[in-house]
Amino acid sequence: MNHAMRSEWIKLTTLRTHVWSLPVYVVICLAMSGLMGYTSRQSKGIDPVALGFSGLQSGMILMVILGVLAVTHEYSSGTIRSSLLAVPKRGVYYAGKLATLMLVTVVLSAVTAVVSFFFVQSLLGDAGVAADAGIVGRMAGAAVYTTLLVAFSMGLATVLRSSTVTLGLLVPIFFMLSTILNNIPATRMVAQFLPDMAGSLILRRDLLPDSVLNGGTGLAVLAAWAVVTVAAGYATLSRRDA
């Protein structure tokens, strides 16, 4: 397992697209959080907690793309064969790839969540809130949310083996379908159980009155989605030729 993770770390830190994705993710998160915080500071009825993490949802698509490319690049470039020669046990190879990127994601997103929250609260002034145990829990939840989305995306990418097809499914779901369904009263309950919408509840202090999930149960729903796609990815990797 250590050998597999070391190999994945080398890939992550040597491929140019992968290397640049990480700092760009941080910049996007902080820039969007700052923009939302600055433009909302005079507004009434704002949720300062949700605003504190608002940029994370803009940046998370970059981590999703990174997760997809970390898988599909090996198939498009043909390096999957050499990777499986280096780590013949496919389960170990798969676990190493997942564990490496998930570890990087959870650390990076945790730091970004903390910085983003305090940055926005400073912009909100008197409308901001201080960090308490609940806020710290949401900071941790923000990191778990992003990490589970990456795992979900990597599992789906392993099944589909194509960045175009995988992102062609994920981007509309995350940026269109969830928003559309959530804005229609008749389908709002369905929207809450979509992976991105369910997980994002951990970022909010004020939930909608008709919400059937909270931050904790929302993360559990997202975790279930991730388990399903990761398991499907393992089954696909085990049975198909490289």
Coil/strand/helix, residue 47 = coil
Q: Structurally, how many domains does the chain consist of?
A: 1
CB 101 within 8 A of CB 150: yes
- Token couple for 205: 């202090």
Q: What H or E segment, with its residue span, contains residue 95? A: helix 90-124
- Token couple for 79: 């390096």
Confidence of residue 153 (pLDDT cuts 50, 70, 90): very high
Give the pLDDT confidence score for residue 206 in this predicted structure: 66
Helix axes 90-124, 2-14, angle to 10 degrees: 50
Give the pLDDT confidence score for residue 185 in this predicted structure: 80
| Rounded-to-integer distance, Cα 134 and Cα 171, Å | 31
CB 15 within 8 A of CB 173: no
Confidence of residue 221 (pLDDT cuts 50, 70, 90): very high
Confidence of residue 227 (pLDDT cuts 50, 70, 90): very high
Which CA distances in Å does 115 have to 48, 61, 139? 14, 19, 10
Tell how many helices (H) and how many strands (E) occur in the chain: 12, 0
- Token couple for 64: 């999703």
Residue 136's domain spans which residues?
2-239
Q: What H or E segment, with its residue span, contains residue 8? A: helix 2-14
Instruction: Quote the pTM value.
Output: 0.89
Give the gyration radius of the chain's Cα atoms.
18
State CA 91 to chain mean position distance.
Answer: 23
The model's pLDDT over 101-149, given as tens digits with 9 standing for 90+, comes to 999 999 999 999 999 888 888 888 776 666 676 778 888 999 999 999 9
CB 116 within 8 A of CB 29: yes
| Rounded-to-integer distance, Cα 157 and Cα 174, Å | 15
Q: Assign residue 78 a region: left if phi > 0, alpha if psi is -120 to 50, beta otherwise?
A: left
